[in-house]
Chains A and B, each alone.
Chain A
Amino acid sequence: MIKWFSKWHGVVFVATLLTLLTGLWLVLSAPADYQQGDAVRILYIHVPAAKMSLLSYLFLTVASGMYLWRRQEPWDILAEASVSVGAAFTALTLASGSIWGKPMWGAWWAWDARLTSMLVLLILFMGLMALRNALEDPHKAARATAVLAIIGAVDLPIIHYSVVWWRTLHQPPSFAGPAKQTITGDLLPPLLVMSVAFILLGAWLLMVKSREVAARRAWETLETERLEQSHG
């Protein structure tokens, strides 16, 4: 799988760049919202980043489950990579939401169900990184992080349905099916293109980070072998 990443990462990078440039052009040419003004342009980053945060965690859960089932290292490499990628997208989601919230809500932060559950997601990503680094035995670290990642997946439906289950300051889902569409007209194309660009960007980041993790592990194995030879 990692070799497949090495072969295709260039193609994914070019596709990401082209989609991102098209998305940015649409963002700049889209009209300002009649209520939010130009602040609506923040949502073209915030919404795709939020989708990618959830998608990264979903991918992490699948990779962790597959690792626990099959005990194959590539699944653990993908899990480790998706934690880093997911953490970057979640940090961007929270920061962009906060910057949008100041002019729109009059506050940088509110202990709202959606915001709090998203903060829990960032803490989970950080916790998974810390747990992996804290355990010396790589197999033990892989198992422990996989178990924690699967337990933490309970946060995903909470994030998604938080705006439905509780009365929140946060608006309802942006993509809720054609019957409940909350964004229409000129504002939809840039959001859709930016969402595709972020999916491609997430895939490319996952490819780069997975290759880096695999190379680091290969180097560490080499160092351990060398150390054992020098002691033996």
Chain B
Amino acid sequence: MADYSEYVLSVYLLALLLLAGPALLWSLRLRRLRRMLQAEGKEPL
């Protein structure tokens, strides 16, 4: 049977990139916004 491991590995890496990437970006943005809102005396979300 042919070796498809490189196709499989590329899909799992892609999944990590497409799902963990935005999650990290949104979490960092949320942290920054929460800090900015807190500095203005607003209730953080």
Residues of A within 8 A of B (CB): 2-3, 6, 32, 36-39, 41-42, 45-46, 49, 84, 88-89, 91-92, 95-96, 99-100, 102-103, 201, 204-205, 208-209, 211-212, 214-216, 218-219, 222
Q: Which residue of B lies closest to A84 (CB)?
A: B22
Q: Sorted from nearest, which 8 A-B pairs have the closest CB atoms?
A: A215-B33, A39-B4, A212-B30, A37-B1, A212-B26, A92-B18, A96-B11, A42-B11
Given A95-B18, A205-B22, A208-B23, also A100-B33 (CB < 8 A): no
Instruction: Report yes or no: B45 in contact with A38, Cβ–Cβ below 8 A.
Output: no
Instruction: Report yes or no: A214 in contact with B10, Cβ–Cβ below 8 A.
Output: no
Q: How many A-B residue pairs have CB under 8 A?
A: 90
Number of interface residues of B (CB under 8 A): 28
Q: Is the interface of A mostly helix, strand, loop or mixed?
A: helix
Q: Which residues of B contact A3 (CB under 8 A)?
A: 45
Instruction: Report yes or no: A99 in contact with B14, Cβ–Cβ below 8 A.
Output: yes
- Shortest C-beta distance, A35 to chain B (Å), equals 9
